[in-house]
Structure 1
Amino acid sequence: MNPSLLWFLLGIAFLLAELATPTTVLLFFGVGAWAAAAAALLGLTTGWQLAAFMAVSLLTLIFLRRHLRAVFGGRSHRAAPENSQQGHPLSGRQGIVSKTLHPGQMGEVSIDGSFWRAVAQSEIPQGRPVRVLGTLPADALVLRVAPLEENE
């Protein structure tokens, strides 16, 4: 079998394994395998193919893993400051509490049929309307909400 095809299939296997176990590590080995496939297509020897695999895997792992984990984990450095009203597309929007919010604990709100993890400074019972204030500074996937006043 053609070495470039083997490397390419190995890269696909690494990417599928990453989907099954989202550790954000196997992804980089998949990229390294594709670099080795490119080296094989260029006619380089097996030693150079292995070197390309290891170098690209390690370099992408070292330089991109932290950034990708932050982005896909909702902790990107672009997360809005705590007092920002423009940091998240849902800031200022209204929703309904779907799991009661207790101070210091995670609850859930529904906004346009999508469910979001949320926190509040006071207890807000299920079914009560809320307004999105922004997100947590450390996790842009958790909304900060406050109860919606009757006159709003």
Structure 2
Amino acid sequence: MDVSIIKWIWLIIAMLFFLAEVMTVGFVLAAFGVGALAAFLVALLGFDLQWQLLVFVVVSAISVVLSRRFADRVTGEQAEGVGVDRVLGKYAVVLTPIEPREAKGRVRVEREEWRAESEDGQVIPVDTIVQVVRVEGTRLIVRPAPDQEI
């Protein structure tokens, strides 16, 4: 293969990696695009294929590590207790009786009122302490608290 063509192949490879990155969500392919771009620059300077490959591998590896750190910092883990998950496992007080046939039960979790249903279909009277088992839409699924204390 003609040596002058190799540098353009690196540029095409870099563009393909960047294009593929746009179509995916992993944020990994761009790192290889950076490596291919670095190999292209080394090829422009006249270094042989072994140096180009070495630069591609080293720069790609460094780029992967740095991009992972950046992606982890940007996306981060969702904090616990965000959204409706914050009420899971919490205790609540029954405000209106929870009756399976009526589906009108209401509970107060901390300072919020929620519609509620019994986990096993039993009637739960007013002022009973319940524990939130799960969330289904805008309803809390609850069961009587084992110790009946908040």
Q: Compute the TM-score of the two structures, normalised by the length of structure 1.
A: 0.47
Structure with the higher fraction of residues in helix conformation = 2
Ranked by relative contact order (alpha carbons within 8 Å, sequence separation 6 or more), the top structure is 1
